Structure 1
């Protein structure tokens, strides 16, 4: 009876996987590439919407649809389900997924620093270090997200044990701000423009700043490649022409960021992204755009830092041999160069 049930469950799973693959292939066959962005209003993922605004996808003959998913872990799930062809999210998911037997790779590396800041609510001046997080709630975009990874790493490094800090999924933007205002979280990790909004109103202060490469090195022990375009390796291998076109569009976008001011970049973005404060948005861009690579190439020392960070706290990584060379590729970006 058990073997029959097992056979039935295996057959059912195969049907679900086949249906998912067919749906993904059908969407692709229609001539559209769908990319899930882990919150495209976030400045760390700015290249996605900027490439669209500059017309670089169309220049490559691509019909690209950008979908918004505030938490990177949910975007990752959409990729694995075959609902999208790529994700604009953190590279660390590529390392984490290999430990789970899934092979995805960064095709274009957007940034070489997380662009994240650990904020402390102004209501809690007693929190002066990561060690003081004990017994408090920490805001992250989602459980299993990159902000959750980084929060767990810093807590572990500060000597805190699992359970000392409660991770609360609060997204970014208005939901993050509301959670801090309502004291649902006392600390939290977020990005621009949310950072500037809370600093401007003096509702929060900066505890750990990873918006620059130097800040990332101090907090994480090395260069930390973060925002990227990552895709399933099998899809990349089967669709090299379209992958190259995506790389072309995104590398051109990174060059634009590297050679233009924050004001010039902001003018190409949807006005609602300013959240009523264009001056603050531009200022944050000017201060933080150095986190972006100029060519989409993975920093040579970056993957080892990411592996070290994840291995320090993640049970998924224990006893696993990770082949970092399979978590990213420079094949396509170097052809653009």
Structure 2
């Protein structure tokens, strides 16, 4: 553990490494953005009402200065849910946003909204159904007639629940949806029996566990382990008119991913510095580190960063994965007519996202305390 002064030293070290890397042109295209006189303003929405440590793909590049290195002045704002984030983007209240792909794909296929994914953040399914450890619920079939806790009705988890029920010959009419909110209210609703089970996500389950709530996950299918669960979206026009911003956002996100996977504890401390209101009073509190590290570990797994190499093509997207997601949305009755899966994403900048010295980022991460 470190004290506040050493936390400052860590930030200083990362900045010095970044400056050295830029000065020797090791970061390639990002140097132009870093040396720019004026930073380009970007509003970045995240599909949550609670900007906690579990969103390192946004908060970590901000905390470590990676957005600034790319010439970007990024403002991170809560988007409440995936559906709400989509509306924020469509109405121009944010430029880019992270959301679950399901709700956006449904609207894209059915109504041809102009939103597309330009960066795959989480490469594994994150949704999960949970119950109390003493619950008689063991399988999806046991959910019939039960009360389902959901964060809000605009969450992508609703689509996930509908799909899982359909796979067992049921529909959402076979359960009663109860809006519980996120975080502690949702945890308490499950604990106290207000709901019989809940639709959550891996990071949320990690938060529950370290907070002392005992829950059990229902079995997941193999297909869920190889599909995108959080992506960066923007309108087609924004991407077309701002290619340098898209490239910079992707590079900063990729750098943060590499830093995160090589030193998650330093990533926790970077978040505490970025959001002091979410930091413990005692920065050396081992329980606080255990709590936030558990959440980040779950996110690392969702991003696939626990297994993929440092030089992986972070942010890249595959047609086959979108085809698979679309098929499950069709099966769930959410998409009426199949669309070309290529309309859901833009992979044009994948090579730009990894146009930097990976070793420099790895070294900075390993040197951070």
TM-score bin (small chain): 0.7 to 0.9
Cα RMSD between the aligned structures? Answer: 2.5
1:191-244 C-alpha deviation (Å, 9 max, x unpaired): 3543134335344222145xxxxxxx5264x62111111111121112222222
State how far apart, in whole Å, the 1-side matches of 2:180 and 2:147 are. 11
Q: Does 1:269 align with 2:288?
A: no
The answer (yes or no) to whether the contact 1:262–1:283 under 8 Å persists in 2 is no
State how far apart, in whole Å, the 2-side matches of 1:249 and 1:274 are. 23
State how far apart, in whole Å, the 2-side matches of 1:280 and 1:192 are. 14
Q: Does 1:32 align with 2:41?
A: yes
Q: How does 1:214-293 map to 2 (within 5 A)?
A: 218=222, 220=224, 223-258=226-261, 260-270=262-272, 277-286=288-297, 288-292=299-303
Q: Secondary structure of the equivalent of 2:218?
A: strand
Q: Does 1:166 align with 2:183?
A: no
Moved more, 75-84 or 43-52: 43-52
The answer (yes or no) to whether the contact 2:44–2:75 under 8 Å persists in 1 is yes
Q: Does 1:311 align with 2:355?
A: no
CA distance 1:42–1:136, shift in 2 (3 Å) = farther
In the alignment, what sits opposite 2:165?
Answer: 155
1:125-169 C-alpha deviation (Å, 9 max, x unpaired): 221111111111212232242111111111111221341012233
State how far apart, in whole Å, the 2-side matches of 1:169 and 1:59 are. 41
Instruction: Identify the match of residue 57 of structure 1 among 59, 67, 91.
Output: 67
State how far apart, in whole Å, the 1-side matches of 2:248 and 2:298 are. 30
Q: Point out where structure 2 has 5 or more consecutive residues left out of the alignment.
A: 1-38, 281-286, 305-311, 355-369
1:292-324 C-alpha deviation (Å, 9 max, x unpaired): 154111145311221011111134x12x23122
State how far apart, in whole Å, the 1-side matches of 2:182 and 2:236 are. 29
State how far apart, in whole Å, the 2-side matches of 1:251 and 1:193 are. 20
Q: Secondary structure of the equivalent of 1:131?
A: helix
CA distance 1:299–1:264, shift in 2 (3 Å) = farther
Q: How does 1:78-157 map to 2 (within 5 A)?
A: 78-98=88-108, 99-122=110-133, 125-157=135-167
Q: Secondary structure of the equivalent of 1:163?
A: helix
CA distance 1:254–1:205, shift in 2 (3 Å) = same
Q: Secondary structure of the equivalent of 1:65?
A: strand
The normalised TM-score by structure 1 is 0.79
In the alignment, what sits opposite 2:366?
Answer: none
State how far apart, in whole Å, the 1-side matches of 2:86 and 2:151 are. 13
Q: Point out where structure 1 has 5 or more consecutive residues left out of the alignment.
A: 1-29, 210-216
Q: Secondary structure of the equivalent of 2:233?
A: strand
State how far apart, in whole Å, the 2-side matches of 1:41 and 1:133 are. 31
